Structure 1
């Protein structure tokens, strides 16, 4: 097990306060705790995303989006990314919120930036996929800096095949079910040597008028970018550094008419 994974497990124990066999609670140095809190921990991102969905159900959908947004966060809509704070300030919570669950998480080596990808359910029974970019804050909690989602007809048909009511309005087994943690995949970028940081990832050349922006972790091991094409298509792509090369973590495309674009 790599050192980062060991530290992540230790961080979970510290957070839960349930790893000691007896009443004696070990004391750790400030340096040790600082190292734990600045190490990749995909499980923390998963827990945050699940908590985000729970808050939408308990506190209101747009209230949760406001509470979990980082300063400067954007939501990628049909007309391009918009400032989340300004956009959400004009919206009241719907009576029934969307519900969602992460399916996969990718993290930079230092844990500063992470990407989650998952599926969601609308109250009318329509299902779709989403992708979210997270940034760790000064208090070590994660907040989102980017969010994009789109409905998918294939997923909707599959999920509703055995259901008798809309998933977000039902109870018990009819609610969207958060999968067990072992079912959610997690990938962590390799930690670079101080003398050999990852080389810059070449940027694609897009047609004139295309809008694009993105972000990167402080250690340079995870980079992400959104693209809004002139015809209304949307794209999110993230890469992480592993085995001495850039690996594509997720490519999330939305058609001009707002549907999740499946790979051919």
Structure 2
């Protein structure tokens, strides 16, 4: 039985038994609570859908062109975070011709807010020359229930890992060395109670930054760009009623920085 059918059955049973049981009021309340859960099932965060969007994005880049895919999957106001700071993706990507071969990438971890309005993926990429690195991408839920990327930062490993012999893989697979099983997690839901305020960073005056929260305030990320060129992304999420750090991805200044999955 699916989760939706199970909740519907609980709600129906509670409402029917309320007419004949001495605990009518309690069961009516249980029925209302179950129905409320039923209404929320389609809005609770689903990391699997974010993973699917990230992988579909990578496959489209491979099949139809890197910049073509980047433009299609970019949310309104999307930012690319390169070694000189953040830039609007729309203007950067507008006139670019697709390269002969796209960067390949795949996520290894996804964190989603409870309501699914904001998620962050972290993963591995490999450029056409074989350079390996890591990336972080923020994903915004769209009106059609799909996801588009709204922020992205990536950097090559330094030093690069030793070469490995690749196993036989399906032709249409997206495989990046260093990739492991994908870990998908969802922040705790508020459940109608008060939510603890997310942490505030103490940053120097010369550090540029921006913080984004999900609509339900159960997940947030902050990007930073320091005066020396250091780039950083911190992801925090609500767990057991308190805020915990999910990711701290710091990239030291590197003038020879490689292109990221979205090209910066």
- Give me the TM-score of the superposition, normalised by structure 2: 0.77
Taking the aligned partners of 1:33 and 1:141, their CA distance within structure 2 comes to 20
Taking the aligned partners of 2:191 and 2:40, their CA distance within structure 1 comes to 17
Structure 2 counterpart of 1:162: 165
Shift in CA distance, 200/137, structure 1 to aligned 2, threshold 3 Å? same
Higher alpha-carbon Rg? 2
Q: Secondary structure of 1:183's partner? A: coil
Task: Could you tell me which runs of 5 or more consecutive residues in structure 1 were left unpaired when the two chains were aligned.
Answer: 11-30, 165-169
Taking the aligned partners of 1:143 and 1:161, their CA distance within structure 2 comes to 33
Is the counterpart of residue 256 in structure 1 residue 253 in structure 2?
Answer: yes
Q: Secondary structure of 1:38's partner? A: coil
Q: Does structure 1 conserve the Cα–Cα contact (< 8 Å) formed by 2:230 and 2:251?
A: yes
Q: Secondary structure of 2:165's partner? A: coil
Q: Does structure 2 conserve the Cα–Cα contact (< 8 Å) formed by 1:127 and 1:153?
A: no
Task: Could you tell me which runs of 5 or more consecutive residues in structure 2 were left unpaired when the two chains were aligned.
Answer: 8-35, 259-264
Q: Does structure 1 conserve the Cα–Cα contact (< 8 Å) formed by 2:237 and 2:245?
A: yes
Structure 1 counterpart of 2:147: 142
Deviates more, 1:78-87 or 1:32-41: 32-41
Superposed CA RMSD in Å reads: 2.8
Shift of 1:45: 0.5
Structure 2 counterpart of 1:20: none
Q: Secondary structure of 1:101's partner? A: strand
Q: How does 1:172-187 map to 2 (within 5 A)?
A: 176-177=174-175, 183-187=181-185
Shift of 1:202: 2.8
What do residues 50-109 of structure 1 show as CA deviations (whole Å, max 9, x unaligned)?
001001001100111100000001000111110000111132111110000100000001
Taking the aligned partners of 2:173 and 2:190, their CA distance within structure 1 comes to 42
Structure 1 counterpart of 2:22: none
Taking the aligned partners of 1:191 and 1:174, their CA distance within structure 2 comes to 37
Shift of 1:176: 4.9
Is the counterpart of residue 52 in structure 1 residue 50 in structure 2?
Answer: no
Structure 1 counterpart of 2:43: 38
